[in-house]
Amino acid sequence: MSSPSKILRKVRLASFLERLIQERQVFAPVREGEVILIREIESPSQVVLEYPNAKESPKSVLFPQRETLFWYRAEKGKAEVDIPRDKEQGRVLFGIRPCDARGLLLLDKVFGGDCRDPYYVGKRANTVVVSLGCDDPNPSCFCLSMGGGPCSKEGSDLFLLDVGDRYVAEGVNEKSAALLADETFEKLDEETAALAEKVKRASGASMHPVVLKEKLVEQLERLFNDPVWKDLTESCLGCGICTYLCPTCHCFDLCDEAAGTTGERIRVWDSCQFPLFTQQASGFNPRPTVKERFRQRIMHKFSYLPETQTMPGCVGCGRCVTECPVNLDIREVVTSLSKGNAR
């Protein structure tokens, strides 16, 4: 079902993106100050493709931090509701990393399922994901240990691999057909194909296998009340960095913003690390301190999601490892838990 691989020369990338920008919204890594972020681009010159990974994950394109669910006007005795319509013009997520593409896979499962979220599912349907394989992963990356890999194609529609002066483009599914039909793509020759295989094999080597995951799910069940959690989480500040930058974290809050008789119900990101997440009106909070909240994040990603969504809630992108102000390393936490002892 996937179309044959082709070549995209780097010199012709700009013209390909130029055409793409005409008909669709193209989101790609751009540099803002010293930080690389995924933003909509107006011109190909903004795109930066030599980058370990963006600071924020591309989930913010399909599941933005603030999204209007509906507008309303409400007066005495009557009310009207109206739902925003998504732009028909499709989106392209260009140049995102395989781990983030894999993150979208989990979001598809969570927001899909029996009771579908029309906002996410609507955007996702007309979005083409073009992922770019990693040839030089960060020391904090551990996608291999989470079932992914620097050249994994999961969650992606068109997979690009940098082999020097060109990219090898592999169509993963029919969604990439329209893009691959563009004339900047050339037939794949033997020599480039061999080069691609070599790069693929080498890409995983620099990433030392870090996380022992086999017996993790049973250990987590057994360790739920183990005092090891107190030591593991004592330095945690309870901020929202790890959940907001995570490509698979999807928890949100619903609230109204109103002025006079009109207003809107919006969805905003929320974090299980914040105390109000489970604070009940009676004052009782089942997760009153940082220990329970940090444990919930680990349990949800490595025990509950594998059971309900058949894949862990972590793709090993390493953002929470590099960005945690107190360097609480999820790899160490998971490794020590799967061995059943404290750090």
Partner 1 sequence: MENPYVPFLMRIEEIIVETEDENIKTFELSFVGKADEERFVYTPGQFAEISVFGKGEAPFGMASTPTRPGRLAFSVSKIGVVTGELHRMEKGDVVGVRGPLGNGYPLESFKTKSLVLVGGGFGFSTLRSLTNFILHDSSRKDYGHLTVIYGARRPGLLLYKRDLEHWRERADLQLHLTVDKGENGWQGHVGFVPDVTRAVAPNPRNAYAVVCGPPAMIHFTLPVLKELGFGDENIFLSLEMRMKCGIGKCGRCNVGSKYICRDGPVFSQQELSRLTTEAHMQEGCTGHGARCTEKHR
Partner 2 sequence: MVESGKWEPKIVAFLCNWCSYAGADLAGTSRIQYPPNVRIIRVPCSGRVNAFFILSSLQKGVDGVLVSGCHPGECHYLTGNYSARRRFALLKNLLEFAGIEEGRVQFSWVSASEGVRFAKLIERVTTRIKTLGPSKRLVKTPDRGPFHAAVND
Partner 3 sequence: MRQLTTDIRSIARKLLQEKKVQVVIGFERGSMPLRSRPCFVRKEEDVERLVWDGFCENTLAAYLPKRKEKVAIVAKGCDSRAVVELIKEKQAQREQVILIGVPCRGMIDRTRVEANVAPKRILQAEEREDVLILKGSDFEQALSRSDLLHDSCKTCTHPNPVLHDVLAGQPLVEKDGDSFSDIEAFDAMTSEERWAYVSKEVDKCIRCYACRNACPLCYCPECFVDASLPRWIGKSTDASDTTIFHLMRAYHLAGRCVSCGACERACPVGVDIRKLNRKLQKDVKALFGYEAGLSLDETSPLATFRPDDPEHFIVNP
Which neighbouring-strand residues pair with 160?
132, 169
Residues of this chain, 66-85, that bind partner 1 according to CB under 8 A: 69-70, 72, 74, 76-79, 81, 83
User: C-alpha distances in angstroms, 317 versus 31, 48, 143, 280, 308?
Assistant: 19, 18, 6, 33, 22
Residue 250 binds which one of partner 2, partner 1, partner 3, none, with CB within 5 to 8 A depending on kind? Answer: partner 1
CA 12/CA 273 separation, integer angstroms: 45
Element (H, E) at 125: helix 118-125
Considering only residues 18, 189, 253, 257, which one is a binding residue for partner 2 as defined by CB under 8 A?
257
Residue 342 binds which one of partner 1, partner 3, partner 2, none, with CB within 5 to 8 A depending on kind? Answer: none
Using rule CB under 8 A, residue 239 touches partner 3:
yes
Using rule CB under 8 A, residue 135 touches partner 3:
no
Secondary structure letter of residue 328 according to DSSP? -
Residue whose CB is less far from partner 1, 25 or 296: 296
CA–chain centroid gap for 51, Å, is 16
Considering only residues 45, 261, 289, 308, which one is a binding residue for partner 2 as defined by CB under 8 A?
261
Residue whose CB is less far from partner 3, 128 or 328: 328
Q: Which of 309, 299, 253 is nearest to 102 (CA)?
A: 309
* Minimal distance, residue 69 CB to partner 2, in Å: 11
Positive or negative, the Cα torsion across 316, 319, 320, 326?
positive
Q: What are the CB-based long-range contacts (under 8 Å, 24+) for 222-230?
A: 222/340, 223/337, 223/340, 224/295, 224/299, 228/336, 228/337, 228/341, 228/342, 229/291, 229/294, 229/295, 230/291
Residues of this chain, 3-62, that bind partner 1 according to CB under 8 A: none
CA–chain centroid gap for 170, Å, is 21
Residue whose CB is less far from partner 3, 35 or 125: 35
Q: Tell me which residues touch partner 1 (CB under 8 A).
A: 69-70, 72, 74, 76-79, 81, 83, 110-111, 113, 115-119, 121-122, 221, 224-225, 236-239, 250-256, 258, 263, 265, 267, 270, 272, 275-286, 288-290, 292, 296, 299-300, 303-304, 307-308
Q: Tell me which residues touch partner 3 (CB under 8 A).
A: 32-35, 50, 55-56, 65-66, 136, 138-140, 231, 234-235, 237-241, 244-245, 253, 255, 257, 266, 268-269, 271, 274-276, 321-323, 325-329, 331-332
